[in-house]
Amino acid sequence: MPWLNHPSILVEAKGVRLLLDAGEGSYRQLRRCTGLDVDSIDAVIVTHGHGDHILGLPSYVLMAGSRGIRLSVIAPRYVMDDLVSLIKATHIQQYVNALNPIPVDTPNEPSFIMEFKGIRIYAVKVNHTVEAMAVKLIDSDGSCLTYSGDTAPSRSLVELAKGCGVLIHEASGNPGFEEEAHRHGHSTVRDAVNIAREAGVKQLVLTHFYTVNPIISELGEGLSLMIPYECSTIEVK
């Protein structure tokens, strides 16, 4: 949809703010939608190294460096080298030390990877064209959401999402285009619905649209669906 930018999702829980991915234009959208600035972000979680998920990070690093603070970035280990190269390529290498890297060895099975300021973070490798991870966040009250990042249908993602109320899942294609989507490491709307139903989540949020509007067919009982727009919010219970 033309009014959706590249992936970037702000999660707020117990006074902690985590940004899931930082696509191009993410910093501008953060300022416009929330009035927050980089000093209000506790960490950015990057699911993989493709440009539509990381090209917004130089703006965050620039603003952090100019304020004399550091930006924590949690990401697969290889992405850290990519980020340093990206910072240098955009000629803001004087701020490279504003990046506080927290590398992750992406697990093959759903696994607890760390606790960050009271938020438990789980991750698992998913089925994309480069190493990529899905993440699950659980706060101290047990509120839980899972974010797929980019992936073709993944059994490991089903297991990761079990027990969560909300699944944020990519939907890069519409029903009938599964073969093409899967070949490029992506999912369709139908795939996302199937994953949500198998995982037993109550609410599915679709993301990562490109040139076509999502077509929704059968959801099944007990599953609600949200198609977000710019600056939209959702409460996770």
| pLDDT beneath 70: ranges in the chain | 1-5, 210-215, 217-221
Closest CA to 92 of 130, 58, 51: 58
5 φψ region: left (φ > 0), alpha (ψ -120 to 50), beta (else):
beta
Edge to edge, what strands does the sheet with 144-147 contain? 111-116, 119-125, 133-138, 144-147, 166-170, 203-207, 224-226
For position 183, what pLDDT does the model report? Answer: 93
- In this predicted model, what pLDDT tens digit does every residue of 105-122 receive, in sequence order? 999 999 999 999 999 999
Instruction: Locate the domains of the chain by residue range.
Output: 9-226
In CATH, what is the architecture of 9-226?
4-Layer Sandwich (3.60)
Report the predicted TM-score, pTM, of the whole model to 2 decimal places.
Answer: 0.94
For position 1, what pLDDT does the model report? Answer: 36
Closest CA to 150 of 18, 7, 3: 7
For position 221, what pLDDT does the model report? Answer: 63
For position 228, what pLDDT does the model report? Answer: 84
For position 2, what pLDDT does the model report? Answer: 37
